[in-house]
Structures are given as structure tokens and as C-alpha cells.
Amino acid sequence: MLPEAPARRNWCPGLARPMPTGDGLLARVHPPLGILTLDQARAVAEGARRFGNGHLDLTARANIQIRGVTEATRAPLADLLGDVGLGDVRADGGPQRLTLTSPLAGRDPDELVDVPRLARAIEAAGLDIPGLPAKTLVVVTGRRDTALPEADCSVIARGPAIVAIAIESGQGLRDIATCGEGEAPGLIGALLAAFARTGRRRMRDLSDDERTALAETLDVKVLAQDPARCRETEPGGISRSRVPFAPTPGRHEGNASQILVIDAPFGRCTADAFDRIVVAAVAIGASEIRLSPARGFVLSAAADVPAPSVLEGLADAFITAPDDPRNRIDACTGAPGCASGSTPTLADAGRLAGALDRDVSAHVSGCAKGCARPGPAELTLVGRDGFYGIIIGGAPGDEPAWDLPIEAVLERLGRAKTVGLAAAFAPDTAATEFGRTRRPA
């Protein structure tokens, strides 16, 4: 029997071990490298309709989740997806998928290493490591100038066929080694095995001494000093703040090709809407659908294909333009789909999108777990007993000073456009109307 829904962000569901939620069991599918063939995509949509409630979630690790699965349907769902190559790859509680790559990996002309081949080799190296925590994540990028998502370990191109290996320190990335592309999988395997032996859940939880000991497990010759192989390498570290890791919604032109980026509003769509992505892929001659860590889909087409009209045909159900206000809001499932939520976060996030200033980022979380965005946002709303705790510039786990209903939040957002967020949501004004003050201002 599966335990009750977790009260913290520590469950990594798969197909064999789905997670209890407010609308049944949630089964997560981990496509290798975040890529679905069209037949696999059709199977996911079919599985969501036949064995779930027809709703799909897209995750920040480029995985896809089927909601509303039951005890009676989880086995046939696992069989259906296993038959098309989407089954779980390990049964020991370790990560079903270890690496995260850009949805443009292998197609970006500015990449300096073969990212798909490197990621596959790292996956193979990690598969046999016992005790590796389920949430362990290795980001692999072929560019020097990519804004990197948070991970335990990152492998970053520093020159042609040269990569840096960096680990998360809690205050940012710590560059611990530079090596040839072919050496990286073995070194990452040794690093992850040493990490598993520490018993920690994430590398950011390591002490400074543990982190130093972990780095010392790598006995590697530093190759980045070769100017012929590493021209223009930035001295002293790795950039987090340049080219987005995932492309923005819309149409992008490439070398003799075009890329269509379609995000799911707040990371959710129906199985029927997902079928429309498959139909769009067929229409433009795409052979696969790449999942994006921005919670959407990436399709590739030849340059002469009339892709803009296909993109326009999806605009009623998806985000297809970079200036869509929903791009600035992260939201979890909330009530009633999640047992931990007390507010309808998806509906409220939609209302928020129309009121939010264009330069403000927001997070609407059904509870303090912050599944959609664990880090800070300019405005964070945390559901509690039907109200929202207001956090300015903080994360969902921070303590809000006061609670407001969504109507009061929307009214104050209108005020924020002239006086700013901090003034509009100041406790002395928020406490005078329908809200609840949690502590003295």
C-alpha cells in the first residue's frame, strides 16, 4: 500500500510508484533526454484518458505527469507506457532520469560538445550507483553562456570537446574539475558514487568539508589551459545569466530550420490538447516532441514549412508568444487536485496574469512546499485555509506576515502599479481589510 500524500517535496513518483494526490495517484513519465517519439506521445495521451483523469502536468525537469490514476489502473498504465519504451529504469528508489539538457541539445550550432551523447553516457554511469537519492540531477550544457538551472552537478562546455564539472555549494556553483568530453561520464560516476555514500539528499546540503572531500575524489588533469582548445574561456567560473536554458515561446529561426516553442499554461494541459501537439508535429514534419524545462514542448521543422499558421492554431490552448503574461507566473495544481492545497491556484494564477505588472514575477503555491517554484519570486502567494500568505521577494517556505483572499490580492496589484509591490502589500494596509495578520507589523 502506498503512503499518504507527502507533506514535503521529497517524493519522486514513477510509473511503478505513483504519488497520492487530491485527484488520485500521480504517475510521472521520464522520457530519455526529455524526448518523445510521436508514437510515445500518442501513448501518453491515451494513457491519460484511459487510466487517468485526462490531465497532464509538465515539470521543470522536462518530464510529464499523468494525473487521476487509480490503484486499479496504475498497472495497465505502466504496461502501456513500458511497451513504447517509457517504463521506469530502476526499482531501488534512485533517479528514473538523472540528466537535464536543453530542448535544443544537439541542434544548437553554438554547442561545443555532443550533449545528447554525453548525457546518455552519464545516465548509463549513474544507473548502477546504489543509494543515489531520487532527486539527484546533473545538468549538461554544450554552451559556455547558458543560464543554468539549479542542479546537484553541472557539466558545462568550456571549449571544443572540453567540459567543466561543477557542484552546487548552496551559494552557487563550485567548479571542481575540467576534463575532456570523453572522460566526463566516468568522473561524474565516481562523483555521484561518493555523494551517495554521504547519505545526503542534495549536494547543496553538504558541509564545506564534505564538499571538499567530494571534489578530491576526482583525480583529473586540468585541460582548460590549452588556448587552442579553450579559446575565450571565461576566467574564474561559470556564468548563470546569459542565454536561457529553455527557449522562449514562439517561432525561432535556425540554420535551414525553424523551431516552434509551445508552453503549457502553468505547466498543465489535457490529453486532448496534447494530441493537438502531436497533430502539429505531423503537420510540420517533426519526428519527435521535446519537452522543455519551461513546462512546454519544442518542435523542429524545415525552413520552408508553413509553421507560423500551425503555431497560431495552438494559441487558444497554449502559450505561443514570449509576451504572454502567464509566462511570468509559476503555479502548482492546488485544490482540488492536490491534497495539500486549500486554494484553486490554477484559476487564481489565471486571474493574476491579467493584473500583474509586466515586469513582475509571481508564484502561486497551494502550500508551503512550493512544488512549482521552490526559490524566491518578487510576489509569492502561499495558500493556507482558503487565503493566500503574501511574501514579497521570498520563497514559499518563508513565513508570510499576513493573509489575504485572492480578491484583495488583485486589488492591491492594481495599486502596486503606482506605489510598488512593497507599499501595496504593506501589513498596515493589508490588515485593515478582509485579511488576517499573522504577526505584528
CATH number of the domain within which 36 lies = 3.30.70.3340
Residue 220: all three cell numbers together: 583529473
**Residue 240 pLDDT exceeds 80:** no
Greatest Cα pair distance, the chain, in angstroms, is: 66
Q: Report yes or no on 384 lying in a domain.
A: yes
Do 153 and 265 have their domain in common?
no
CATH number of the domain within which 195 lies = 3.30.413.10
Cα–Cα distance, 158 to 179 (Å, whole number): 9
Q: Locate cell 554547442: which residue? A: 111
- The parent domain of residue 376 ranges over 327-425
Minimal CA–CA distance to 400: which of 343, 346, 360, 439?
439
285: left (phi over 0), alpha (psi -120 to 50) or beta: left
Residue 301: all three cell numbers together: 521543422
Do 44 and 147 have their domain in common?
no
Query: Angle between the 184-198 and 208-215 helix axes, to the nearest 10 degrees?
Result: 150
CATH number of the domain within which 313 lies = 3.30.70.100
Residue 7: all three cell numbers together: 507533506
Do 112 and 220 have their domain in common?
yes
User: How many domains are contained in the chain?
Assistant: 4
How far lies 86's CA from each of 35, 158, 433, in Å? 10, 33, 51
Q: Report yes or no on 89 lying in a domain.
A: no
- Given 295, 325, 355, which residue is the final one in a domain? 325
Q: Report yes or no on 264 lying in a domain.
A: yes
Q: Report yes or no on 25 lying in a domain.
A: yes
Q: Report yes or no on 95 lying in a domain.
A: no
Q: Are 410 and 351 in contact (CB under 8 A)?
A: yes
141 Cβ partners below 8 Å, 6+ apart? 101, 102, 115, 148, 154, 155, 156, 157, 245
More confident residue, 185 or 438: 185
pLDDT, tens digit, for every residue of 13-66?
A: 999 999 999 999 999 999 999 999 999 999 999 999 999 999 999 999 999 999
Q: Report yes or no on 210 lying in a domain.
A: yes
Cα–Cα distance, 154 to 168 (Å, whole number): 8
pLDDT, tens digit, for every residue of 176-231?
A: 899 999 999 999 999 999 999 999 999 999 998 998 888 888 765 444 434 333 33
pTM: 0.89
In terms of C-beta density within 10 A (0-12 exposed, 13-18 middle, 19 or more buried), how is residue 91 classed?
Answer: exposed
How far lies 414's CA from each of 86, 352, 353, 410, in Å? 46, 11, 12, 7
Do 208 and 259 have their domain in common?
no
Q: Report yes or no on 70 lying in a domain.
A: yes
Do 164 and 197 have their domain in common?
yes
Give the highest mean pLDDT range of 167-181, 256-270, 420-434. 256-270
Residue 180: all three cell numbers together: 575532456
Q: Are 403 and 411 in contact (CB under 8 A)?
A: no
- Which DSSP category does 331 fall into? E
Q: Report yes or no on 241 lying in a domain.
A: no
